[in-house]
């Protein structure tokens, strides 16, 4: 394994480590608690269970796509959306009403988590669309294509 391939593996793993294995494992170990948290967004136990199972699938399969390079652009796109939805549903910094108060603030704490989710989504979108405007359309032409992250040859 070359140094450049090792760097690529590390940078991709740093993007997904939150989900795979940690968040996925937490959902498995603490499934009942995860369903309880999902019920904050949807009161139905069946719907909350479905959301957790869907999230578990996303948190396992999409990081594997990013790490292996198999349909990694689509996997990045899905994880970016997952981060955005998570921020909007569970990091609602505007709800506590104490964002502008001095001292401790639940709203400000949630705000930083909200921004972290959107920043992480940006990292996934770099995999999806590339780092230049010249590579954006390649995703729309073939969303299942790989970026060939471990190739030693430059690809568009």
Residues constituting the chain: 156
CB 48 within 8 A of CB 109: no
Distance, CA of 74 to CA of 47 (rounded, Å): 25
Q: Mean of the per-residue pLDDT values for the chain?
A: 94
Record the pTM: 0.92
Residues 20-40: pLDDT tens digits?
999 999 999 999 999 999 998
């Amino acid at each position: 394994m070359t140094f450049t391939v090792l760097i690529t593996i590390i940078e991709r793993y740093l993007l997904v480590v939150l989900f795979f294995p940690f968040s996925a494992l937490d959902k498995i170990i603490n499934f009942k608690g995860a369903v309880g948290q999902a019920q904050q967004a949807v009161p139905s136990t069946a719907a909350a269970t479905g959301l957790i199972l869907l999230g578990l699938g996303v948190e396992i399969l999409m990081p594997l796509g990013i790490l292996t390079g198999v349909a990694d652009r689509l996997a990045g796109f899905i994880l970016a959306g997952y981060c955005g939805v998570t921020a909007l549903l569970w990091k609602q910094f505007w709800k506590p009403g104490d964002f502008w108060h001095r001292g401790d603030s639940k709203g400000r704490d949630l705000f930083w988590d909200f921004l972290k989710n959107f920043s992480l989504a940006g990292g996934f979108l770099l995999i999806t669309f590339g780092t230049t405007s010249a590579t954006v359309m390649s995703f729309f032409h073939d969303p299942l294509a790989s970026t060939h992250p471990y190739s030693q040859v430059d690809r568009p």
